[in-house]
Amino acid sequence: MSTDIAVPSTKAMVAVDGDDHVDTERRSGGAPMTPAARVRLILAHVAVYIAAALFMLPLVYAFFSALKPNGEMFAMPPSLFGSEVRWSNFAEVFQFGPFWTYIGNSLFTSIAGTLVVLFVSTTAGYAFGRLRWKGRDAVFVLFLATLMVPAEVLVIPMFQVMQWFGWVDTYQALIFPFAFGAFGTFLMRQFFRGIPYELEEAARVDGAGPVRTFAQIILPLSKSSIAVLSVFTFLSFWNSYLWPLIVTVDYGSLGTLPVGLASFSGLTGTRWDLQMAASIISMIPTTILVIALQKHLVKGIAMAGLGGR
């Protein structure tokens, strides 16, 4: 019986590789676009630009309104530009009240709250998504059911808990009550479930325990998902108004930025020009954060597997 095996020639292998390369280019979009496909692409870009412009219009109007005199805010007919450009409105914001204190409190509570949420969500997500323990799925469903409870319903019970702890009018009350939500845990669990288990098994063979595996393997692979959770959490703390308004009494020392924005309205009227300027200033940190992490946002949301792996 002959055991010779026919080996393809080098030219044949090159030809096959070349054909595969051509097919790959065609499948990946290397082939010329048809006129209909080009028209659809142009229309899609135009629709995106129009939607972006519509979303930007209120921000543009707010910015130019911050440069108007207060008496011209509701002038008829409305106009984008005022009779003069008052850049001094942005400086006067900081003289109107303890605006630096509001910014500092918002930054502190937002950063601290985000760090707490990241720690809780990543560890809980790892426990629900990677570790095997009795009753895991039932506990997760119960934990996830808390997302159906509106935050407004929890305000009064949470305030009573803060009174029992003696945390009313403290930074702890601004940070901890809503730092243990189920959304971050769900997001991280979905992402962790998509990481190959072979990596974890290889680490276990090398002698790594659950904590070391989590810190040295799982977390480094989760940067995009962590960035998404960081942005969502920071925005949630930064824009929170109702809870800081209820749980703080001394607004001069513990007031956050959304509460401080309401201070421009009083019995003598509303300084709309300063309120617009303060609103523009309040958007700067969040805008910088989103721009800095924008390359991770789409990737993190796509890799998180919200469809349910």
Domain coordinates of the chain in residue numbers?
Answer: 96-303
Q: Can you give the pLDDT of all 309 residues of the chain as single tens digits?
A: 444 444 444 444 434 444 444 444 444 445 677 888 888 899 999 999 999 999 999 889 889 988 888 888 887 887 888 788 888 889 888 887 788 999 999 999 999 999 999 999 999 988 888 888 888 888 888 888 888 888 888 888 999 999 999 999 899 999 998 888 888 888 888 888 888 888 888 888 888 888 888 888 888 888 888 888 898 899 999 999 989 989 988 877 888 999 888 877 764 567 888 888 998 999 999 888 888 887 777 666 665 544 444
Helix extents (H) in 130-268: 136-144, 155-165, 171-175, 182-192, 197-205, 210-213, 223-238, 242-247, 251-254, 257-261
CB proximity list for 108: less than 8 A, separation 6 or greater? 171
Backbone angles phi, psi at 214, to 5 degrees: -65, -45
pTM of the model: 0.77
CB-count burial class (<10 Å; 0-12, 13-18, 19+) for 230: buried
Contacts of 114 (CB under 8 A, 6+ apart): 230, 233, 234, 237
Q: Which CATH architecture has domain 96-303?
A: Orthogonal Bundle (1.10)
Contact 277, 285 (CB under 8 A): no
CA dist 301 and 280 (Å) reads 28
DSSP 153: G
